Amino acid sequence: MPEFSLIAVIVALVYVASLMCIYRILMTYRTAQGALAWVFALLALPWITLPLFLLIGRSRFGGYIKARRMGDDALTNLLNRFEQQETSLRSPAHHHFSDELQVLSKLARQPFTDGNHSTLLRDGEATFDALFDCMENAQHYILLEFYIVRSDRVGQRIKSILERKLAEGVNVWFLHDNIGSFGLPRKYIRELTQAGAHTAAFDDGNVRRWRFQMNFRNHRKILVCDGKVGFVGGINLADEYLGAAMEQEPWRDTHCRIEGPAVTGLQLAWLEDWNWASDTFPELNWAPHHNTPGDERILILPTGPADSWESCTLFFLNCINNARERVWIASPYFVPDVQVMNALQLAALRGIDVRILIPEKSDSRIIGLAAYSYLVQACQAGIQIYRYQPGFMHQKVILVDDRYTAVGTANLDNRSMRLNFEITAINTSGKFVEEVDAMLTEDFKQSHLMDERDYRDRSLAFRITCRAIRLAAPLL
C-alpha cells in the first residue's frame, strides 16, 4: 500500500506540473500551432513531454528580461546619449525617414546614424584578415561576442592576438555561447582568463538563479575595437569558415566592417549581452564621433526572445511588405512560418521580384529537406528559389529595391525569428546597395533556379519526409 501511495503521489505531481506548464503556455504563447502541440503532448504524454518542455519549451527568455530591467537605467542613459549625438538621425520629420525606416528604428530601440563607412567582406579569408588587423591595431579594448568559437587554427590565431594585446595593456572582453561553442576546451578560456581577459559564457544554465533553458542561443557575431570599428555578419571563429583557403569544401559567407558612429549601436548590443552573462558593466568609450569616415546611414538592429515583440519576424515582414520592386533574401535555412510565407507570396503576386537564395548542400540535412516542402506554393506565387551550387552558402543578406540592404546573423527560420539573439546592420547607402546587388547577382549566376518538378518528380517517400519534417518547423 505505501508503494502504491508513492506512485500515486508521483503521478499526481507530474500532472500538476504539466497543468502549471499548460497555464504558462496559455499565458505566453506566440503561435497557436506550437501552443496546441505542447498542450496536447503534456496531457497525453506528460512523462516525456514535461522534461522536454522544461528544456526547450519556453518562448520568452525570462531571466534576460529581468536582467534587462535591472540594468535598464544605465543602458537607457547610454542610449539617450547615443540618440543625442550629432550623427544620430533622431527626428521622424527628417527627410531620410520613411515609415518603414521609422519602424526599423523603433524595433532596434536605436537611431539610424550618419557618417559611417562600411566594407563588404565576402567570405572567410577577407573577413579574418580584417578581424585580425582590427584587433592588432586596438589601443584600448577589444569586445568579442561569437556563437561558435573553436580551438583550431583560426581560434588559436585569435587567442594569440588577444594574449599579445593583453600584454600590451589592452583590455579584452570575450563572450561566447555555450551551446554553439560546445566543443571549446576549458583550457582555451582558462588561458585567456589567466592572461587577463574578462570571459563569460552566454547561456541560460545558471542553476543558482533557476533559469535553465537550452532553447535560447546567442547567435550574434560581434567584434568591436575601441568603440570605433565594428564587425557583424555570418562568420564565426572557426576554420570551416575559410573553406577553400583551408583546402576544405568552399564556404560562401558575408560579413561587414563598420567604422563610424553606428559602432556605438554594436557596442550597446554587446554590453547588454555581457551584463546578462556576467553581471558586470564595464567602462567603455561612448564619446561622440566627430571625425566620421564616410556618409553612409546605418542602423544596428539587435533582435531576440527578450524583446517585447517578435522583433526579428517584424523585421522580415517590414522588408517584404514594403518592397516596391524587389526583395532578395540569402539564408542558409529556409523554414518560414505562415505569416512570412504569406508575405512572400503576396509580394510576388503584386509583381515584386522575390528571390530566395539557399544552399544546395546544407550543414543540416533535416532543414535542407524541410525547404523542399515550400517549393510548390512558392513557385505557384512566382517566388524564385535558387540553390547555390559551389559548396555551402551561409550568408544572411537582404536587399530591398535599391533603397537599403541588411547584413547580419538572422536566418529565415523559426529559431532566428523567435529563439535566437540575432543582430543585423541595415545600410541605406546607394554605393553599398550596389555592392550587395553585384555580389548577390554573381551568387545567383552560380545557383540553380528551382521549379515545382524539383519536388513533384521526387519519390513519394521523399515528399512525405519533407512534409513531415515541416511539421516540426517551430522546433528546427
Give tens-digit pLDDT for 205-261.
Answer: 444 344 445 667 899 999 999 999 999 999 999 999 987 555 567 899 999 999 999
pLDDT for the residue numbered 24: 76
User: Which of the listed residues 273, 297, 321 is the one where a domain comes to its end?
Assistant: 297
pLDDT for the residue numbered 32: 66
Which DSSP helix (H) or strand (E) runs through 371?
Answer: helix 365-372
Which DSSP helix (H) or strand (E) runs through 67?
Answer: helix 62-70
- Is 219 among the residues known to form the active site? yes
CA angle 307, 308, 311 (to 5 degrees): 60
- Judge if 94 and 202 occupy the same domain: yes
- Judge if 284 and 331 occupy the same domain: no
The answer to which of 11-25, 117-131, 323-337, 414-428 has the lowest mean pLDDT is 11-25
Q: Over 80: is that where the pLDDT of 278 sits?
A: yes
Could you tell me if residue 37 is inside a domain?
yes
Answer for the pair 233, 121: CB distance below 8 angstroms, yes or no. yes
- Judge if 340 and 385 occupy the same domain: yes
- Is 401 among the residues known to form the active site? yes
- Is 451 among the residues known to form the active site? no
- Between CA 282 and CA 275 the distance in angstroms is 9
What is the helix, strand, coil percentage profile of the chain, to 5? 50, 20, 30
pLDDT for the residue numbered 442: 97
Please state the pTM of the whole predicted model. Answer: 0.85
Q: What is the CATH number of the domain that holds 284?
A: 3.30.870.10
- Judge if 465 and 330 occupy the same domain: yes
For the segment 116-157, what is each residue's pLDDT rounded down to a tens digit? 999 999 999 999 999 999 999 999 999 999 999 999 999 999
Q: Over 80: is that where the pLDDT of 277 sits?
A: yes
**Exactly one of 219, 228, 255, 289 is catalytic; which is it?**
219
- Judge if 339 and 444 occupy the same domain: yes
Could you tell me if residue 302 is inside a domain?
no
* pLDDT band, very low/low/confident/very high, at 204 (cuts 50, 70, 90): very low
Specify which residues 326 forms β-bridges with.
353
Q: Give the three cell numbers for residue 188.
A: 582555451
Overall number of domains in the chain: 3
pLDDT for the residue numbered 66: 54
Could you tell me if residue 23 is inside a domain?
no
* pLDDT band, very low/low/confident/very high, at 173 (cuts 50, 70, 90): very high
- Judge if 320 and 463 occupy the same domain: yes
CA dihedral 55, 56, 59, 63 (to 10 degrees): 40
Q: Over 60: is that where the pLDDT of 59 sits?
A: no
- Judge if 52 and 69 occupy the same domain: no
Could you tell me if residue 103 is inside a domain?
no
Could you tell me if residue 460 is inside a domain?
yes
Over range 272-300, report the average pLDDT.
85
- Between CA 476 and CA 470 the distance in angstroms is 9
For the segment 70-92, what is each residue's pLDDT rounded down to a tens digit? 556 777 777 777 777 777 776 54
User: Which of the listed residues 297, 319, 338 is the one where a domain comes to its end?
Assistant: 297
pLDDT for the residue numbered 210: 40
- Is 114 among the residues known to form the active site? no
User: What phi, psi does 141 have (nearest 5°)?
Assistant: -160, 160
- Between CA 124 and CA 81 the distance in angstroms is 35
Measured CA to CA in angstroms, residue 245 lies from 150, 248, 331, 393 at distances of 17, 7, 22, 15
For the four alpha carbons of 223, 229, 234 and 235, in that order, the dihedral sign comes to: negative
Answer for the pair 210, 179: CB distance below 8 angstroms, yes or no. no
User: Which of the listed residues 246, 264, 297 is the one where a domain comes to its end?
Assistant: 297
- Between CA 300 and CA 261 the distance in angstroms is 10
- Judge if 87 and 230 occupy the same domain: yes
Strands 171-177 and 198-202: parallel
**Exactly one of 226, 253, 273, 337 is catalytic; which is it?**
226
- Judge if 330 and 379 occupy the same domain: yes
pLDDT for the residue numbered 90: 62
Could you tell me if residue 24 is inside a domain?
no
Which of 75, 82, 80, 78 is closest to 299 using CA atoms?
Answer: 82
pLDDT for the residue numbered 331: 96
Reading phi first (left if > 0) and then psi (alpha if -120 to 50, else beta), residue 399 is in: beta
- Judge if 409 and 342 occupy the same domain: yes
- Residues in CB range of 418: below 8 A, 6 or more apart: 30, 59, 305, 310, 312, 313
Share of the chain above pLDDT 70, in %: 86
* pLDDT band, very low/low/confident/very high, at 33 (cuts 50, 70, 90): low
Average pLDDT of every residue of the chain: 85
pLDDT for the residue numbered 179: 87
Parent domain of 203: 62-98+111-297
- Is 106 among the residues known to form the active site? no
- Judge if 282 and 140 occupy the same domain: yes
Please give the full DSSP string across 175-242, using - where no structure is assigned: EEETTTTTT--HHHHHHHHHTT-EEEEE-S--GGGT---SS-EE---EEEETTTEEEEES--BSGGGG
Could you tell me if residue 106 is inside a domain?
no
Could you tell me if residue 84 is inside a domain?
yes
- Judge if 242 and 343 occupy the same domain: no
* pLDDT band, very low/low/confident/very high, at 55 (cuts 50, 70, 90): low
Rg (the chain; Cα; Å): 23
**Exactly one of 66, 152, 353, 401 is catalytic; which is it?**
401
- Is 221 among the residues known to form the active site? yes
pLDDT for the residue numbered 31: 65
pLDDT for the residue numbered 65: 55
Q: Over 90: is that where the pLDDT of 373 sits?
A: no
Q: Give the three cell numbers for residue 365.
A: 540535412
Better-predicted residue by pLDDT, 414 or 57: 414
**Exactly one of 165, 176, 228, 396 is catalytic; which is it?**
396
